[in-house]
Chains A and B, each alone.
Chain A
């Protein structure tokens, strides 16, 4: 085996320029692939992190039908107090859950006493919300980023309204909301902070204390429109979703039908589709890499076989077993793949390290995204194995041809 590979390496060095060109082409393919994967992965992670850490959480529980009509912020699709206790009990049994936040979602009229507009609001328990979406406080662009997110009587307002209505931190505003029965209630609030808007649902919502939300909605009991859930490990999302989904399915109404629905962030945010497209593009790039390796290695190996027909005849004549001749040519393909993959991975790691020292930033909507690309061992191993596997595959046909060559015909070749 080692002897075969050594001879394969010597053969590759016959035509050094061709060998380095082919290995270089494979290297470029590997670098392009790994850099795309790391940059796209970084973008995905930043966006998903922002969506899940500052708004949605990893999972959400609603009463059935609520998500379908979430744009209207319905008040008649609440999770009642008794059901809420049952849900909390089930959530407590799920070891993958790190934190949960019960939210009261409502629409209200926002007024600075001279102008009025509509606003979407979340009534929250500040501590629970902080634990569930720790990124929310990082969006506070004006106001104190430390301390409780909101205290009773305080309001976090979206940037759009703050700018449009020229409202500053410390100003007094009034919220007027209609409750489930149709009666109207109003309350004064102090602006505690201004929130940067982010892409996605809830990215332009305001926040108030849950006690204030209950008061505005004249809610007697602790009900909820939404329960946001944070997991210890995002990788465990499918497992927790399946496990929790099964548990919630057992919580039924008087007719014996399930009353709750569980959604992951993927079902709640349109960015999941963008993430899916990024994955699809990654697959296309992989296909291109496969094509580059297949075509370049096969081309080189076909030429190598054609140029060395007489030599193949000699080796076969002096008794070299066909499998050994096959091994010689497969070995050349293997080495080309190994060189291309090794240099490509090394270069990619160097570029990724450089991008972490000098990070790339680009605007995305009203946000500035900072890319911090990383390469996982799994991704490197996948690409390296793909390249080496394809290089071996590409050399198989020429190698097979060489091993099956008739020695007499080969020796006669001019």
Chain B
């Protein structure tokens, strides 16, 4: 069974009488343990596609199944529960909670979403912080961390609840080349260690080289697919 399967999905936004098609007739399949990039210029539909796969939005037409679930049918609360249980997110601007330390940011999904018991939670958080090399910075707040460190914390937060799929929207866009390379290497390493599938978007040619498979989008169309 594919992890993600899209068949003819479109996403059309309406602004008054004007309709804007952000995605048109996209069909794709992504399997477990893949390291996939959605690539394309700004406005090509990468983020929209990630939002649909991440159950943050619904396709206007077509069918989209993630882990066998028709995510278009999920309501607000069910979608939140699905995201909390099966998905991890990494954002371009890290989006860490500023009042929480690195440890607490990583702990957040287990505490507030999954309700793990304290001992299990602590062990898991420390495991992930260790995996991303942030154990020494565990009790620093986001404003005390560099961009690369913040994104490593964000990756740990995305993986802490053991999701099957991590979606990363331009995860390296706000990082220098060296930090970007380290974060991508880390993500790949974690994929190898945990078996989680990574899907990320980028418009940076150097970053897309790191992907094992790239799906190229232009004007809302999936125009080609490349394998490394």
Chain A residues with a Cβ under 8 A of chain B:
3-4, 7, 10-11, 13-14, 310-311, 313-322, 324, 404, 407-408, 411
Among A7, A13, A314, A408, contact of B95 (Cβ-Cβ < 8 Å): A314
Known: A14-B99, A314-B95, A408-B57. A319 touches B111 (CB 8 A): no
A320-B84 in contact (CB<8A): yes
Q: Which residues of A contact B113 (CB under 8 A)?
A: 318-321, 324
Within 8 Å of chain A (Cβ to Cβ): is B77? yes
- Which candidate, B85-93, B190-198, B201-209, is the interface stretch facing chain A? B85-93
Per-residue 0/1 for B76-118: is the Cβ within 8 Å of any A Cβ (1 yes, 0 no)? 1100111111011101000101111000000011011100000
A11-B99 in contact (CB<8A): yes
Per-residue 0/1 for B55-74: is the Cβ within 8 Å of any A Cβ (1 yes, 0 no)? 01100000000000000000
B77-A317 in contact (CB<8A): no
Main secondary structure of the interface of A (DSSP, over half): helix
Known: A3-B112, A7-B112. A322 touches B99 (CB 8 A): no
Q: Which residues of B contact A404 (CB under 8 A)?
A: 76
Give the Cβ gap from A51 to chain B, nearest Cβ, in Å.
Answer: 58
Since A316-B80, A320-B84, A322-B76 are in contact, a sample of 11 more A-B pairs with Cβ atoms closer than 8 Å, ordered by chain A residue number, is: A7-B100, A10-B99, A13-B99, A311-B98, A315-B108, A318-B89, A319-B80, A319-B82, A320-B113, A321-B84, A408-B56
Q: Which residues of B contact A411 (CB under 8 A)?
A: 91, 95
A309 to B72, CA, bound (A): 25
Among B51, B85, B91, contact of A319 (Cβ-Cβ < 8 Å): B85
Interface footprint category on B: 20 to 34
Q: Which residues of B contact A407 (CB under 8 A)?
A: 56
B84-A318 in contact (CB<8A): yes
A319 to B109, CA, bound (A): 8
Among A3, A10, A319, contact of B81 (Cβ-Cβ < 8 Å): A319
A321-B80 in contact (CB<8A): yes
Known: A317-B56, A319-B81, A320-B84. A3 touches B95 (CB 8 A): no
Name the residue among A4, A11, A407 with the largest chain B CB count within 10 angstroms.
A407
Give the Cβ gap from A28 to chain B, nearest Cβ, in Å.
Answer: 27
Return 30 A-B CB contacts under 8 Å, by A number: A3-B111, A7-B112, A10-B99, A11-B99, A14-B98, A14-B99, A313-B95, A314-B95, A314-B97, A315-B108, A317-B54, A317-B56, A317-B89, A318-B83, A318-B84, A318-B89, A318-B113, A318-B158, A319-B83, A319-B87, A319-B109, A320-B80, A320-B84, A321-B84, A322-B76, A322-B80, A324-B112, A404-B76, A408-B51, A408-B56
Give the Cβ gap from B148 to chain A, nearest Cβ, in Å.
Answer: 19
Give the Cβ gap from A404 to chain B, nearest Cβ, in Å.
Answer: 8
